[in-house]
Structure 1
Amino acid sequence: MTPWDNIKGVLFDLDGVITATARLHDQAWQSIAEKVQAPWTPALQASLKGIDRMHALELILQAAGVAQAYSPAEKQALAAAKNQRYLELVQQLTPTDILPGIRVFLDQLQQHGYQIALASASKNAPTVLHQLGLAAFFPKIVDPNTLTKGKPAPEIYQKAAALLHLAPDQCVGIEDAAAGVAAINASGALSVGIGAAQELAAADVVFASTAELTLPHLQQVFGGGVRG
């Protein structure tokens, strides 16, 4: 029996896997960084990838040296301002912004009876999926408001599997960030990384781009060995 024989569900991250909304988050967060006078460096930008909104805001405030200067209410207001700017940018998304191969991959999964769920920290995921024309593929979406711990904790992937009435080890998770891969691995699901092999070395399999993400390719790869 190969690792793939047990797989019945596929769990998706959103940003960097289904669409490249990271650039929209970056634009929105940069506006907040400028407001609190944090230097917008490549290192700060990279540190915000794959984490929840309030955690990202804390990193920006720390970079500005003002983490203690804002009250909880003021932090909530900053987070809301970021979200409002992001939602304005999201309205520009169309199906042409779906990453290469993803629509075909979703069709393959659906045609072959695999269940699908979204495991994204984004509270705006339903809006993004609607703009992309993919909402019908994702009736099962983890509500980030129900999470007690964000990635790299496994909770979001455990909940995604539960939405499908599956155990995590019956699922494959797909991520483009190291924190996300760690969350998949900790949940017990098989992990697929999209991006740089060195950054995502903990994943069971790494594909350079979503264009390589096909059902036959996954079946072929997981027909062999995975991490011990």
Structure 2
Amino acid sequence: MLNCVIFDLDGVLVSTDELHYRAWKAIAEKLGVPFTRQDNMRQRGVSRMESLEVVLEKCPRTFTQDEKLALATEKNDLYRAMLTDLSRADALPGVRETLAMLRERGVVTAVGSSSKNTPEILQRTELGDGMQVVVSGLDITHSKPHPEVFAKAGERAGFAPQQCLVVEDAETGVRAGKAAGMRVLAVGAAKDNSEADFRFATLAETLPHWDEIFSAFEQA
């Protein structure tokens, strides 16, 4: 049975990609290195320090760990300042309808995100009350594609991996969900990932298909 759905945050529930891009681009410009939207795509689903390495690989000089931490902190400060503009309207299409439908079916809804800003984003978009379990970058040691964030969310929800479905939009997130022993619904940038069990362009597009998803779990 499908008893728990674990949602990634950025790109699934809320789109903050543009904010991340602008903040990282500001750091790159400070360092005098180019930073493109393609570079930004490579940062999907990974930790802040791993994202920083994408920026620094174009820089001819080396950085100490303290310098890297300072740059990552500066980026996060820029990003958090931009988060103040987030509101209820920034939840992606289909999110609230999906959460309401899952609640009606008695399914536990959870968030599994590598972002340490998850609690603030959920609060500003008024999505926090719809989540019974939240596991963020504040709770984990390993970022995706390591399965820790999803495994921990499933454990906190009280269900075995085979009772959980991960919803992801990043390749690293799909790998993390599968590594956790869970089925994965891929949307957005990950919709063509052959490792995913279910694939749709957007979360809104999945709304007419949840009976099929539930049936797939029942038949397993």
User: Which 10-residue stretch deviates more, 142-151 or 30-39?
Assistant: 142-151
**In the alignment, what sits opposite 1:34?**
29
Gaps of 5+ in 2: none
Equivalent-residue separation in structure 1 for 2:156 and 2:201 (angstroms): 29
Give 2:70's aligned amino acid. A
> TM-score, length-normalised on structure 2?
0.92
The 1-side partners of 2:213 and 2:128 are apart by 28
Q: How far off its partner does 1:222 sit?
A: 5.2
Q: Does residue 43 of structure 1 match 2:38?
A: yes
Q: How does 1:60-209 map to 2 (within 5 A)?
A: 60-66=55-61, 69-196=62-189, 199-209=192-202
CA–CA distance in structure 2, aligned partners of residues 155 and 92 of structure 1: 31
Instruction: Say which of 202, 206, 211 aligns to 2:204.
Output: 211
Q: Does structure 1 retain, via aligned residues, the 8 Å contact 2:170–2:189?
A: no
Amino acid at match of 1:15: D
Letter in 2 for 1:45: N
CA contact (8 A) 2:145 2:176 kept: yes
1:220 to 202, 206, 212: 212
2:9 is aligned with 1:10: no
Superposition deviation, residue 125 in structure 1: 0.6
Q: How many residue pairs get matched?
A: 218
- Matched residue SS, 1:147: coil
Q: CA deviation at 1:108?
A: 1.1
2:15 corresponds to which of 20, 27, 39: 20
Q: Is the 8 A contact 1:102 1:213 kept in 2?
A: no
Superposition deviation, residue 221 in structure 1: 3.9
Letter in 2 for 1:108: M
Deviations 1:142-193 (A, max 9, x none): 1423423211111111011011011111100000011100111111111000
* 1:117–1:163 CA contact under 8 A, matched in 2: no
C-alpha displacement of 1:198: 6.4
- Match of 1:77, as an amino acid? A
Task: Give the partner amino acid of 1:12.
Answer: F
* Cα 1:147/1:92, change in 2 over 3 Å: same
Spell out, residue by residue over 1:8-58, the C-alpha distance to the aligned partner (whole angstroms, 9 max, x if none): 000010000001111111111111111122211233121111111011011
Which amino acid in the other structure matches residue 79 of structure 1?
Answer: A
| SS of residue paired to 1:129 | helix
Please state how far the C-alpha of 1:94 moved relative to its aligned partner.
Answer: 1.1
CA distance 1:157–1:198, change in 2 (3 Å): closer
Change in Cα spacing, 1:41 to 1:89, as seen in structure 2 (3 Å) is same
CA distance in 1, matches of 2:216, 2:138: 37
**Code of the aligned partner of 1:188:** G
